Amino acid sequence: MNKEILNAIREKGILLEKEIFDVISGMADENLALDLLEQLMKVSGQKMITKASLNKNFEFAKQCVQELPGGVKTSIEKVFIKLGLNLEIEKKTIELTKTNLESEKDGVGDVKNSSGDNVREPQKMKYKIFYADTTNEKKITVQDFVGHFRARYRELQGILINRQGMENLTSINKISGNRQNLTFIGMVREKRVTKNRNLIVVFEDLTGQINALIKADNENFKAVQELQLDDVVAVKCSGNNEIVFIQDVIYPDSFVLQKTKFDEEICIAFISDIHVGSGNFLGKEFENFIYWLNGNNELAKKIKYIFVVGDAVDGVGVFPGQERLLKIKTLKGQYDAFAEYIRKIPEEVTLFMCPGQHDASRVLEPQPILDKTYAGALYEIPNFVMVSNPCMVKLLEKDKEFKVLMYHGASIHPLINNIEELRIMKAQKTPAKAVKHMLKRRHLAPMHGVSHSIVYVPNIEKDPMVISEVPDILCTGEVHRLDVERYNGTLILTGSCWQSQTDFEVKVGNIPDPCKVPVFNLKTHELKILDFSLGDSVFGGKDEN
């Protein structure tokens, strides 16, 4: 380490977490290292500087860095990213340029290099990223979950109040002993079936709780029957403070009021569940996709963003006996191999990746970005952006925003198992129908608990699984089957996979649909489905649209 930097650390009496110390000591630019040290001291607000303390003072960190001169600001932002800190909630314009390229323009959108080969011209990529809050710095108590569900209730209440049909809206504690027609907004606390096969739902709000009954012959019985624990809905009913009789329920629901279309013809692609390291990984087919991206296909040239929706690798110890099924036995080795594939993707294509259950991130949702200890190779790829699960990415063109909500999709299975309509239709084969229910409820994982396969990290300020903004596209992974649906203006895409059928899938009867890549045109809104199975085209891209 440079003596001047070391002396500065000693003089100021600073204690650095090892990873932060390693980053500073490895910086070649002495002045930049000293600037970084000053910023870390400001942000941390204490002599012991750790990643946890920096995350805790996130907003101040962002403000400090924004005030720096352009060149220094960019360099320090990159250092924060290397430390695995989600500093840039709003990504600024990033210009990706090819290195060592002697070039001159030769027609629109093309560049000729010194060998005379056509390559795509680097373009400015504009986007904003809104990460989920994944911090957890203290022991979790029951009160944290109380605060979490109160926060969820308040946000969904705000959405419901703006829905039509909110006549006679009241809170539960203001329901009198006289029979009346009313509407209240409540969270489902309990459901039970009576001996006459009627349904009683116990609702609660921030003021109290009440029993609500709906008869089996009511025309809205099915809508009430599909309510899940912790759902927040508006209830139209009649009755008094002893019991109310449900007439209808209104879900928060989602609506895209105006379609966003770009002027420039830019395309985005979606992949998920690659499972590098698995003995069932379809490596040749994945290379086939990358080969196609690097070719002269007109559609491939238009792709500027790829969304990688979780489970990039197969992981280690994810389930009992997994080790005997792995081709690459270590988690770091799997990410190193995945990084080698990503480096072959053209630099002008920006990739966003959220984690899944097989990735190097906690299983509890929301999941933070990948752990640098294992996925360090990915941190060195300039056009690879790691995001949380879930995460909203807004693609920008002038004053236009196209919203893509990424969620790996662990809640798809419990939704199918607990909603009768989905269970009867065996929606494992058509998983986008389950994702519709996320949009209807405005929540990505409404049911909490080990029995439902979804466990949250509680957040008393804001439930990060609430769909606060309606996306143009909601993309998921998890089920290994490509499925497409539209719901009130939102395009739903459940991801394919790059893994052949596993022993577990044989056991549960899941038939994967591998090697499919949906490509969406931001100008025309045309969706094409490409099949990169080796049997269809060695050089990629059977168009199934």
Percent of the chain at pLDDT exceeding 70: 79
Report in angstroms the alpha-carbon separations of 111 from 18, 94, 116, 125, 235. 44, 20, 9, 18, 61
**523-531 long-range Cβ contacts below 8 angstroms, 24+ apart:** 523/261, 523/262, 523/263, 523/264, 523/265, 523/266, 524/261, 524/265, 525/259, 525/261, 527/484, 527/491, 528/299, 529/482, 529/484, 530/292
Instruction: For residue 134, give the 3-state DSSP assignment.
Output: coil
pLDDT of residue 318: 81
Residue 324 has pLDDT above 50, yes or no: yes
Tokens (6 digits) for 446: 């409404």
DSSP H helices, 103-141, are: none
Q: How far apart are CA 414 and CA 426, in angstroms?
A: 13
Kindly tell me the burial class for residue 364, based on how many C-beta atoms sit within 10 Å of its own C-beta (0-12, 13-18, 19 or more).
middle
pLDDT of 518-542, one tens digit each?
A: 999 999 999 999 999 865 443 444 4
pLDDT of residue 537: 43
For the chain, domain boundaries: 1-84, 96-120, 164-250, 267-543
Residue 46 has pLDDT above 50, yes or no: yes
Peptide bond into 414 cis (omega under 30): no
With beta carbons less than 8 A apart as the criterion, state whether 71 and 29 touch.
no
Tokens (6 digits) for 213: 């009954």
- Region of poorest pLDDT, from 86-100, 195-209, 308-322, 408-422: 86-100
pLDDT of residue 522: 97
Residue 293 has pLDDT above 90, yes or no: yes
pLDDT of residue 29: 72
**Per-chain mean pLDDT for the chain:** 83
The DSSP secondary-structure symbol of 50 reads -
Kindly tell me the burial class for residue 320, based on how many C-beta atoms sit within 10 Å of its own C-beta (0-12, 13-18, 19 or more).
exposed
pLDDT of residue 322: 83
With beta carbons less than 8 A apart as the criterion, state whether 244 and 172 touch.
no
Domain covering 164-250: architecture: Beta Barrel (2.40)
- Higher per-residue pLDDT: 136 or 106: 136
pLDDT of 337-367, one tens digit each?
A: 999 999 999 999 999 999 999 999 988 899 9
Beta strand pairing call for 384-386 and 350-354: parallel
Report the phi/psi class of residue 179: left, alpha or beta, with left for phi > 0 and alpha for psi in -120 to 50. Answer: beta
Q: Which residues contact 435 (CB under 8 A, 6 or more apart)?
A: 409, 412, 474, 476, 485, 492, 494
Instruction: For residue 364, give the 3-state DSSP assignment.
Output: coil
- Nearest C-alpha neighbor of 536 from the set 303, 285, 280: 285
Residue 235 has pLDDT above 90, yes or no: yes
pLDDT of residue 397: 92
pLDDT of 150-183, one tens digit each?
A: 999 999 999 999 888 888 999 999 999 999 999 9
Residue 107 has pLDDT above 50, yes or no: no
Which of the four pLDDT bands, split at 50, 70 and 90, describes residue 71? low
Instruction: For residue 458, give the 3-state DSSP assignment.
Output: coil
- Nearest C-alpha neighbor of 150 from the set 109, 204, 114: 204
Residue 389 has pLDDT above 60, yes or no: yes
Instruction: For residue 349, give the 3-state DSSP assignment.
Output: coil
Q: How far apart are CA 67 and CA 62, in angstroms?
A: 9
Residue 487 has pLDDT above 90, yes or no: yes
- Higher per-residue pLDDT: 88 or 394: 394
Domain covering 267-543: architecture: 4-Layer Sandwich (3.60)
Beta strand pairing call for 244-250 and 209-214: parallel
